[in-house]
Structure 1
Amino acid sequence: MRHFQRFGLVLNDRVVRTPVAIASMAGVVNADYVLARADHVGVAFIGGYSIDAPTMEASREMARAGRAEFSYEDPVEELASQMEKMKESDVVLGLNLRGSTPAAYAAVAEALGDSVIYEIDAHCRQQPMIDAGCGEALLHNQQRLAEIIAALKAQDVTVSVKIRTGVAGDDRQLAKKIWTAGADILHADLMDFGYQKVRQLRNACPLVLIANNSVNTFEKMKDMFSHGADLVSLARHSDERTLAGLDAAITRYADEHGWYNSPKQLCRGGDIRSLAFCCMPVKSCPLIPTLDKIGMTRDEYMAFKQHAVVETPLSEGKHTCFGSLAWCCKDSSPCMFREMTIRQVGIDNREYMRQKHILADKILQHLFYEKARNDTC
């Protein structure tokens, strides 16, 4: 419960102890690799593991060319042995898989069950793997990617998709495709795009978002979190010292501020979660074009926020600028009236930010599910 209260992260029905993850590296990241670093990570994706004849042959070809690859005769047997090693660990386990058909993924999930996350490798850019119909090939054949997601979801398992940004053409449309196909997690290698790409993906879909690529300092981690990431993952930089530093830093930040991945305010480049911090739409500011972009009228926005905070501490604050804490800004922005109201209500800044987190979740739920359903009707 301590970890849940701190971060509020649950994946595959398990509480994630820290939003720091290990990303797969073929031939390197297996159960032993993760267990040596288990004190400092919450999630780990082992692999990549090739799971059918075409991708296993591609792995052998890549190994002959000098790349690190896992070698085995029976992928299900190998994966089962890796899962057994991780059985007593509190690290949430994901299997990064490379297959050439939806049936190959479904067969593995049917054999191994729902105790792990199944991650589709739409990331590998090695030509033998692309020729086998895996890796980046799936970013150019998004219908096949959707079919693989559907095949895994038919086995009632949690599905992650690892992508490389900047390959598909429009990553926003790709994210929407992955979400509507049924995936649960989007694991994005940001390449050289940085936090701007995180914000773009966050604004395009409500999936659990893992940001990957060169996130090896607390400042870089905060950039990812403040623009929409739920977790960050490390591959080449996943040494114990770096992982321990990130874990300790984000734990301290969460305990101090109450919302570990709170967004920047909208007027400072925040993602759509930052609507939780916006005031009423009464002046010319980034709120107005944002509402237009997401198809939300000013009246709808005001009514939604007012309703969302009923019977919560955010409904209080008659002496604030707009009559309640629902319209108040982030705790990092100085405001005498907000601070006075928080004390009068009997909460601290940490609880204030926790309540804003709940409000932001309601906003995402409304925009991506309730509003979309009503618009369709």
Structure 2
Amino acid sequence: MTDAGERFGIIINDRVVKTPVVIASMAGIVDAAYVLARQAHAGLAFIGGYAIDAPTMAAAQEIASSGDRKEFLYNDPVPVLEKELAALASSDVVCGISLRGASPESFAAIARALGTKAVYEIDAHCRQAPMVAAGAGEYYLKNPDKLVPVIQALKAEGVTVSVKIRVGIAADDRALARTIWAAGADIIHVDLMDAGTAKLRQIRNSCPLIIIANNSITTFDKMRDMLSHGADLVSLARKSDNETLALLDTEIVKYADTDGWYNSPKQLCRGGDIRALTFCCMPVKECPLIPTLAKVGMTNEEYAKLKLNAVEGTPLAGGPHTCFGSLAWCCKTSSPCMFRDMTLAQEGLPKKEYMRLKRELSETIMGRIFHDVPSDRSS
């Protein structure tokens, strides 16, 4: 029986994530009890958002007093969060806490108090005016120079860091993704709004971080669309009911156990992200491969050498009857190809195993592309 580690290969905060289905935070709503009632079909959950310092706690009070939104209100966030984490300690759902703070020290103080029990998510997503005026939420998207020291302060405490963003707010979402990566974050949680998969693909092509896609992902078709354009996980907020979570979890398990690569990308020539370089053929004709290699700073010769070296000693090295003499250059199994399928049959290589090996090749290629963090990384 396939376990979650083998099926999805997602490790967050040193824990195996059982399914790429995530519960997103909703202020005043998502707490430990909310998660525990839905834990059967969630792999990761962010409780909160929680205001963690005087400016943001005052903003939360103001928001709640308007009567339009709920907020978690308290005098001291630490005992509240300790209680919530204790309630989730025995759950198999990896826990994250969504935090709203106005200074790096506010975040660092929470991390020092709570330790490595949870993923710390910086809420750079909230667009409520009092929170933005306090220097939190979307304020960080419009002032990424203020976001960087917050990420660094949390990483200095040795914790796993996620940053939740909303696309279309920063001047350049690709540059923002690189900034978040360079500052040391581990995860980008992306509310795509109405931007769709094109924006997701841009972010995937800009950084190697774990990506959680968010916004109205309530069907398996939408989930697969996000996963095939760069997401590692998908999250739900208002629709994080047991029925929807169960649907997504059940279908992605079925897909993974059949296909072998649960978030396999579309092929590059069909709009896929750069993970799809694993499916590309030799760079010998005019197609999206050539400009993509130029964008990632890799010559045609370097690309060819990288792929052939990466598959040496594996079943992908063979395939003399394929178009270019090796399965390294073959496409994904959803694309019809008699030469690939004939080779797989001759070698006794199941399509599921072929796709697993293609995923490993993709990870090698991504490691080469994102070997160095951006040159503007802060010290």
Corresponding residue for 1:173? 175
Q: Does 2:256 correspond to 1:254?
A: yes
Corresponding residue for 2:80? 78
Counterpart amino acid of residue 41 in structure 1: A
CA distance 1:278–1:296, change in 2 (3 Å) = same
Give the TM-score normalised by the residue count of structure 1. Answer: 0.98
CA deviation vs aligned residue, 1:219-262 (integer Å, no higher than 9, x gap)? 11011000000000000110110000000010000000000000
CA deviation vs aligned residue, 1:325-358 (integer Å, no higher than 9, x gap)? 0000000011111112112222200000000000
Alpha-carbon offset, residue 180 of structure 1: 0.3
Root mean square deviation of aligned Cα:
1.1
CA deviation vs aligned residue, 1:269-299 (integer Å, no higher than 9, x gap)? 0000000000001111111111111111110
Alpha-carbon offset, residue 195 of structure 1: 1.1
CA deviation vs aligned residue, 1:166-224 (integer Å, no higher than 9, x gap)? 00020000000000000000000000001111101000000000000100001110110
Corresponding residue for 1:285? 287
Counterpart amino acid of residue 173 in structure 1: A
Counterpart amino acid of residue 189 in structure 1: D
Alpha-carbon offset, residue 320 of structure 1: 0.6
Alpha-carbon offset, residue 372 of structure 1: 7.4
Kindly report which structure 2 residues correspond to 1:141-160, keeping only aligned pairs within 5 A, or say none. Answer: 141-160=143-162
CA distance 1:139–1:37, change in 2 (3 Å) = same
Corresponding residue for 2:58? 57
Kindly report which structure 2 residues correspond to 1:31-42, keeping only aligned pairs within 5 A, or say none. Answer: 31-42=32-43
Counterpart amino acid of residue 23 in structure 1: A
Corresponding residue for 1:8? 9
Corresponding residue for 1:300? 302
CA distance 1:100–1:372, change in 2 (3 Å) = closer
Corresponding residue for 2:113? 111
> How far apart are the structure 1 equivalents of 2:235 and 2:229?
15
Counterpart amino acid of residue 241 in structure 1: E
> How far apart are the structure 1 equivalents of 2:91 and 2:349?
36
Corresponding residue for 2:358? 356
> How far apart are the structure 2 equivalents of 1:370 and 1:346?
38
SS of the residue 2:4 aligns to: helix
Q: 2:236 aligns with which of 234, 238, 261?
A: 234
Give the TM-score normalised by the residue count of structure 2. Answer: 0.97
SS of the residue 1:123 aligns to: coil
Corresponding residue for 1:120? 122
Corresponding residue for 2:45? 44
Q: Please say if residues 181 and 373 of structure 2, whose CA atoms lie closer than 8 Å, have aligned partners that are also in contact.
A: no
> How far apart are the structure 2 equivalents of 1:31 and 1:344?
52
Q: 2:315 aligns with which of 288, 313, 318?
A: 313
Q: Please say if residues 20 and 232 of structure 2, whose CA atoms lie closer than 8 Å, have aligned partners that are also in contact.
A: yes
Identity %: 62
Alpha-carbon offset, residue 371 of structure 1: 9.7
Alpha-carbon offset, residue 317 of structure 1: 0.6
Counterpart amino acid of residue 60 in structure 2: S
Corresponding residue for 1:212? 214
Corresponding residue for 1:185? 187
> How far apart are the structure 1 equivalents of 2:260 and 2:372?
27
Corresponding residue for 1:326? 328
SS of the residue 2:313 aligns to: coil
Between stretches 361-370 and 17-26, larger displacement belongs to: 361-370
* Structure 1: runs of 5+ lacking an equivalent: none
> How far apart are the structure 2 equivalents of 1:220 and 1:196?
14
SS of the residue 1:172 aligns to: helix
Q: Please say if residues 53 and 106 of structure 2, whose CA atoms lie closer than 8 Å, have aligned partners that are also in contact.
A: yes
Corresponding residue for 2:225? 223
Q: Does 2:15 correspond to 1:18?
A: no
Structure 1 runs of 4+ with >4 Å offset: 370-373
Counterpart amino acid of residue 153 in structure 2: A
Corresponding residue for 1:243? 245
* Structure 2: runs of 5+ lacking an equivalent: none
> How far apart are the structure 2 equivalents of 1:158 and 1:337?
45
Q: Please say if residues 316 and 357 of structure 2, whose CA atoms lie closer than 8 Å, have aligned partners that are also in contact.
A: yes
> How far apart are the structure 1 equivalents of 2:316 and 2:117?
38
Counterpart amino acid of residue 134 in structure 2: A
CA deviation vs aligned residue, 1:19-76 (integer Å, no higher than 9, x gap)? 0000000000001000000000100000000001110000000000111001112101
> How far apart are the structure 1 equivalents of 2:307 and 2:120?
36
